[in-house]
Structure 1
Amino acid sequence: MTYYDYRAGKKRIDEILNARMPIQASSKLPSTDNLTFENAYNSWISALFVDIRNSTELFADDDREQTAKIIRSFTSEIIEILRDDPLLREIGIRGDCVYAIYTTPKKTDLYEVHNKAAYVNSFIAMLNRILRNHGLDTIRAGIGLAVGDDHIIKAGRKGVGINSTVWIGDAVSKASKLSGFGDKNGISRIVMSSLFYSNLVDVYKEQRPDSGFETWYHTSNSLPYWGTRHGNVIIADMDNWIDAGMTD
């Protein structure tokens, strides 16, 4: 029979609530390995979530081996796109969603995160072309982007090796929610928060003033949060290669 020592539990909660936990402001978030149960950081971070849209139907498919191969293809290549970056602070899988969190102390860092979203967008087109070539059903997915000045703590049970990083603020929660709106009901695949968009506009105006970036993303009454934008930005070279048949 399971036994929980609730008296000891009450003492542990009192210790946590009564202890000092200094929150260190950091322009660039250090490695999460530096987190302990006694400290916390506050820093600008960006989150990117990629959420499979039709996962319920996909997971209910009778051909489970084929479904497993599709999910493995989806997750492995998106992780490959998102992982290779010195700004990366966490990457993982939540159910049918792949996510990554980056330290983004400068506006120009958002350019790199957005570029990854564009690669993911083009990859989904590539994966769907390959799936069609194999006679398989295609997938849909939403890509959520958000930025925030958030708190980062280590949470779990001290001393037993069960813990995880918890991100307290707007970036992670918004990116996760926005990914659920992409690629359905007339909304494009990439959906970004208003703060992410407004900062990214500044970067494009400075670095690529003739890009026409303001025309790439649009508002919609069906999206949550004021100023949320959606668009379908791709990597042109990759998209041309897909259209050419991916033979070389």
Structure 2
Amino acid sequence: MDGNFKPYDWTASAKRIDEILNQPAGQFEETNSLPSRDKLTYTNGFYANCTALFIDIRGSSTLTTKHKRPVLAKIYRAFISEMVAVLNSDRFVREVSIVGDCVWAVYDTPHTTDIDDVFSVAAKANTLIALLNARYEKRNIDPLKIGIGIDWGRALMIKAGYSGSGINDVIYMGDVVNRAAHLAHKAGRGIWGSSSHPIWVGGNFWGNLNDHNQGLLTGLYDSELGYVYTGHVVNSPMEEWVEQNG
């Protein structure tokens, strides 16, 4: 969101706060599917089923000590550009966001068959890191590791920002978003076995996958997140192309 200077008026601020806090709960509608952005106002919201997918770079803080800023900019630009391309490539995508070196997306998945589509997005993202690393290696750039977290559940979708300023965004709140972010934070950090897998998914998401996709993941008990499912899943045609052309 681009800033645009406006003097701050605390009396107007107090009025806006009261208007927001006095909004009736009935304006927050329960739905099975995420509505279009244009249905949102500053006074309503929607609870809906969705899937959240987060992708984090592992050890990103060490990149700044290894590479000068022009190289660092190229590393991040390539990573963010192509991860966003992958996240945006599914027909159920509703929102794609960038927060620092993390990219994440929300998908409208009211049906169980929709969830397998999002799983294929995660597999492409996991394969993309191999393509990026192959190109980085040719330029003497250390390979990246990532963590991918996914979960399914209900989220509250609202429009938030400074009314009248043009500065606003759509916000998704709920356990599904928080859990996917925590799963991504944990993924790919282990040093052996399933704890080192780059893809971690929550039980709600795993339970809605088809039998084949469920079989690609391994159950793991995490002391903070409870029972999760992990894997190193790739897109086979893409992986073959990377091996031949990377």
The one of 94, 97, 101 equivalent to 1:92 is 97
- Mark the CA change 1:232 to 1:31 in structure 2 (over 3 Å): closer, same or farther: same
Quote how far apart the aligned CAs of 1:60 are: 3.1
Quote how far apart the aligned CAs of 1:220 are: 2.9
The one of 34, 46, 50 equivalent to 2:51 is 46
Quote how far apart the aligned CAs of 1:4 are: 4.9
- Aligned residue for 1:8, secondary structure, equals helix
Q: State the AA in 2 paired with 1:61.
A: K
The one of 11, 15, 18 equivalent to 2:15 is 11
Q: State the AA in 1 paired with 2:207.
A: S
Kindly, what percent of the aligned residue pairs are identical? 35
Q: State the AA in 2 paired with 1:176.
A: A
How far apart are the structure 1 equivalents of 2:240 and 2:29? Answer: 46
Q: State the AA in 2 paired with 1:119.
A: K
1:142-191 CA-to-partner distances (Å, cap 9, x unmatched) read 01101111111111121111212121212211111111111112320001
Contact 1:194 1:226 in 2 (8 A): no
Residues 1:129 and 2:128 aligned together: no
Counterpart in the other structure of 1:167 = 172
The one of 13, 23, 36 equivalent to 2:41 is 36
Q: State the AA in 2 paired with 1:218.
A: T
Q: State the AA in 1 paired with 2:216.
A: W
How far apart are the structure 1 equivalents of 2:20 and 2:237? Answer: 53
Question: Which structure 2 residue ranges, 5 or more long, are not aligned?
Answer: 1-5
How far apart are the structure 1 equivalents of 2:83 and 2:12? Answer: 43
Residues 1:189 and 2:198 aligned together: yes
TM-score normalised by L of structure 1 = 0.88
Counterpart in the other structure of 2:245 = 246
CA RMSD of aligned residues (A): 1.9
1:121-157 CA-to-partner distances (Å, cap 9, x unmatched) read 0111121122223322111110110111111111112
Residues 32-181 of structure 1 aligned to structure 2 (within 5 Å)? 32-181=37-186
Counterpart in the other structure of 1:216 = 216
Quote how far apart the aligned CAs of 1:3 are: 7.5
How far apart are the structure 2 equivalents of 1:40 and 1:152? Answer: 6
How far apart are the structure 1 equivalents of 2:49 and 2:224? Answer: 22
Quote how far apart the aligned CAs of 1:26 are: 2.2
How far apart are the structure 2 equivalents of 1:124 and 1:170? Answer: 27
Contact 1:146 1:174 in 2 (8 A): yes
Quote how far apart the aligned CAs of 1:36 are: 0.5
Counterpart in the other structure of 1:227 = 227
How far apart are the structure 2 equivalents of 1:171 and 1:240? Answer: 33
How far apart are the structure 2 equivalents of 1:113 and 1:193? Answer: 13
Identify which range, 106-115 or 122-131, moves more after superposition.
122-131
- Aligned residue for 1:180, secondary structure, equals helix
Aligned residues: 236
Question: Which structure 1 residue ranges, 5 or more long, are not aligned?
Answer: 206-210
The one of 16, 20, 24 equivalent to 1:20 is 24
Q: State the AA in 2 paired with 1:117.
A: A
How far apart are the structure 1 equivalents of 2:204 and 2:223? Answer: 15
Identify which range, 22-31 or 144-153, moves more after superposition.
22-31
Quote how far apart the aligned CAs of 1:219 are: 2.9
Contact 1:45 1:147 in 2 (8 A): yes
How far apart are the structure 1 equivalents of 2:7 and 2:151? Answer: 42
TM-score normalised by L of structure 2 = 0.88
